[in-house]
Amino acid sequence: MDDSEFPIALPVPRKGRGAVTNLQGRYEVDQREKVDDGWVRSEDDESEAPALRTQVFEERAKSILTRNTSPDIPFSVSLNPYRGCEHGCIYCFARPTHSYLGLSPGLDFESRIYAKVNAAELLERELSKKTYVPEPIALGVNTDAYQPAERELRITRRVIEVLHARGHPFAAITKSSLIERDIDLLAPMAARNQVMAAVTITTLDADIARTLEPRAATPSRRLRTIRALSEAGIPVGVSIAPVIPFVTEPDMERVLEACAEAGASSASYIILRLPWEVAPLFKDWLTAHFPDRAERVMARVRDMRGGKDYDASFAQRMKGEGLWAELLKQRFHNAVRRLGLNERRRGILDISQFRTQLLAGTRPSEPPQDNPQLSLF
């Protein structure tokens, strides 16, 4: 029987998960290929794949600060308390990093989380070095520092305690309302111009967000977080990242309007990025959730990427190229100008108050006891 006689099975979504497959990582030695044996899910079958449990593993990292020299990134030092992210955003550019662990950038990335339980200890050690030169740290850029595991583990909280005690400036970006827990630390730092926050909102459509970012806070809840941070005196912006043609792109102006009304003072956007394994994972997600527009979405993505799924060059990777990318840029800047965003920037965070030693009584809380698998949800 010819292979063409078998129908192609559509990817089956999992409840509460972004990826619909456990795509093989590019560093795995053995290659696997999916073969349809005829047991194809019918178009009338609305069932989902079985639920997948999250495992959180302890990791004792050797270093905690990551440095970059990328000209299109507004920071050069970052800190990520976790590897992998349970939020499960299908578009996450950090997904391919799980390949370095011999795991899948797909479902493994969002269900096998590595918690750097010694992050605060490593940070304190780094800041104590006589050679250390302070500059603002970006917190939670690769994977969300306030993802669900943080509620129990409080690793991010202890990191901020160190930064607070040292008077060290930082910026945090998140999709979680859990950041409100740390307002008691953030507010006094904001008063000294030592902290700013950004909340990522891709769309106001809760149904789209539920499949796009399945375990992140709902869009309406993130708007409340913007309001809470703003009312506490913490400069907060909105990051519309990514802009996905024909999926989240129609919502751009509405997102900016809602965030401005909630108290956001700045805004930025990034066009969908599909590096490495993110491209096939995203295409599977499109096929599973938007089969009627999947080809149209990818055609527009390629229009902005020089005919490819992705262009990693510094000049193009964030904003794209071509007519459609230029139209998006104009739409964004017109809305920002109309709403008065990006006009009340505080400027560069203040590093002059950095202290080389912790003040008495300000030592961070103790980390959890050693346990190779911290929790199983």
List pLDDT tens digits, range 349-375.
999 999 887 654 555 555 545 444 443
pLDDT of the residue at 105: 97
pLDDT of the residue at 292: 96
Q: Sorting pLDDT into bands at 50, 70 and 90, what band is 36? A: very low
The pLDDT of 222-249, averaged and rounded, is 98
CA 143 to chain centre: 5
pLDDT of the residue at 322: 97
pLDDT of the residue at 315: 87
pLDDT of the residue at 220: 98
Query: Does the pLDDT value for residue 342 go beyond 90?
Result: yes
The pLDDT of 257-275, averaged and rounded, is 98
**Which of 17-26, 122-131, 140-149, 151-160 bottoms out in mean pLDDT, i.e. has the lowest?**
17-26
Pick 364 or 341 by higher pLDDT. 341
Average pLDDT along the chain: 89
The pLDDT of 118-133, averaged and rounded, is 97
Q: Sorting pLDDT into bands at 50, 70 and 90, what band is 74? A: confident
The pLDDT of 177-202, averaged and rounded, is 98
Pick 13 or 339 by higher pLDDT. 339
pLDDT of the residue at 361: 52
Q: Sorting pLDDT into bands at 50, 70 and 90, what band is 276? A: very high
Query: Does the pLDDT value for residue 1 go beyond 50?
Result: no
pLDDT of the residue at 364: 56
pLDDT tens string 298-340? 999 999 999 999 999 998 999 999 999 999 999 999 999 999 9
Q: How, if at all, do strands 137-139 and 77-79 pair?
A: parallel
The pLDDT of 185-193, averaged and rounded, is 98
pLDDT of the residue at 182: 98
Highest average pLDDT, of 41-45, 274-278, 354-358, comes from: 274-278
pLDDT of the residue at 368: 47
The pLDDT of 67-86, averaged and rounded, is 94
The pLDDT of 157-184, averaged and rounded, is 98
Residue with tokens 């619909």: 20
pLDDT of the residue at 275: 97
The percentage of the chain sitting over the pLDDT mark of 70, rounded to a whole number, equals: 84
Domains and CATH numbers, the chain: 53-270 (3.20.20.70)
